A = this chain, B = another copy of it.
Amino acid sequence: MTEHVHAVHPEPDMIQLLTPEGQRVEHPDYPLAITDDEIAALYRDLVLVRRIDTEAIALQRQGELGLWASLLGQEGAQIGAGRALRPHDMAFPSYREHGVAWCRDVDPLTLLGLFRGTNLGGFSPYEHNFNNYTIVIGAQTLHATGYAMGVVRDGAVGTGDPDRDTAVLVFFGDGASSQGDVNESFVFSAAGNLPVVFFCQNNQWAISEPVTTQSRVPLYQRASGFGFPGVRVDGNDVLACLAVTRKALDDARSAQGPTLIEAFTYRMNPHTTNDDPRRYRLASEAETWKLKDPIERVRAYLAREAAISPDFFASVEDESRKLAEHIRSASRVLPDPGAADVFDNVHVTMPDELREQREEFADFLSSLEMSDAK
């Protein structure tokens, strides 16, 4: 495989292992032993999560979802990071990490409830070691940090036992880097030398604000001032994201402490389906980034240089279509919430006064049903 590797490297401070043209490049610090079959599996991930995204946007247009936060353009970052996790590692997403959810085996439909307005997340973080989405910008970085404190107290770092040593991976955006919470999580993680990896998807925009509104220096540099390493990776290069995240997670598990990864990528779509980016950015910007598409480069590599079965692309396409159908049909029958969903999980032990309100609300809901039935 080494004959495919070229030594070109466009941006000196950005780790890249696969060029936009689909050429493997090597980086001394991030050797990546990966087979073509494994690359093909990543390709499948990339295509399928993009399809989930496409379907969700369509569902939103049809009024089936209230909102959707698209990951278009960020598939490489998310699949690279997500596939670097081991099952017992824990991941904390913000609200756009549908690709990471995919890598954690979270059913895409599970994600839709929040956007459809039938629940607020509603799943168990323990089932797939993937926390519920967090909407308050940056808050989850502290949760990840605290979780990592727990990991340390459980004696689950630095033992050398791969089934025991545990890392925590937390996602946030370029905008989030300005929040106090994110910086406090850097403080706590550095001071405690915690097994947490901060994965910042710098998609160049926080809604309408370019990253320059947040920082005048590359975001990965933030870490050094807190006393831990930061690295910028080509966020559209799934291989580089995989290699860089894997190393950071390894470091975390072996008690080397935190790492900040800045995945340099681009939000190709509006911030959410509510947004109108024509107000604040030029379409030409997206055109430029399209040339760096995270999927195209893997396809180019596979098509040109890998020994994969001839019907591979067609079979992924087929799988993608089936996934889309599944999402379309199943999402429409997502159960609407009832009184129980509103009251039963406010507390573990429901106070009497709330129980009375619950009854009142249930009565009201059934009175509506009765008048509907009339």
Contacts and interface: CB of A to CB of B under 8 A. Distances in A.
Interface stretch (A102-110, A178-186, A199-207): A178-186
A367 to B, nearest CB: 40
Contacts of A183: 180, 183-184
Interface stretch (A83-91, A161-169, A215-223, A241-249): A215-223
A225 interface: yes
In this complex, the member of A179, A225, A230 whose beta carbon has the largest number of chain B beta carbons within 10 angstroms is: A225
A214 B226 contact: no
A217 B221 contact: no
Taking the full assembly, how many copies of this chain does it contain?
Answer: 2
Contact of A215 (B184, B187, B221): B187
Given A224-B225, A226-B222, A191 B179 contact: no
A52 interface: no
Nearest to A184: B180
Contacts of A177: 187
A288 to B, nearest CB: 24
A190 interface: yes
Given A180-B183, A184-B179, A217 B222 contact: no
Given A178-B184, A179-B180, A225 B221 contact: yes
A225 to B, nearest CB: 3
Interface string A216-240: 1100011111110010000000000
Given A221-B224, A222-B226, 11 more contacts: A179-B180, A180-B184, A183-B183, A183-B184, A190-B216, A191-B215, A215-B226, A217-B226, A221-B225, A221-B227, A225-B230
Interface in A300-337: none
B191 A214 contact: yes
A193 B224 CA distance: 21
A181 B213 CA distance: 17
B225 A213 contact: no
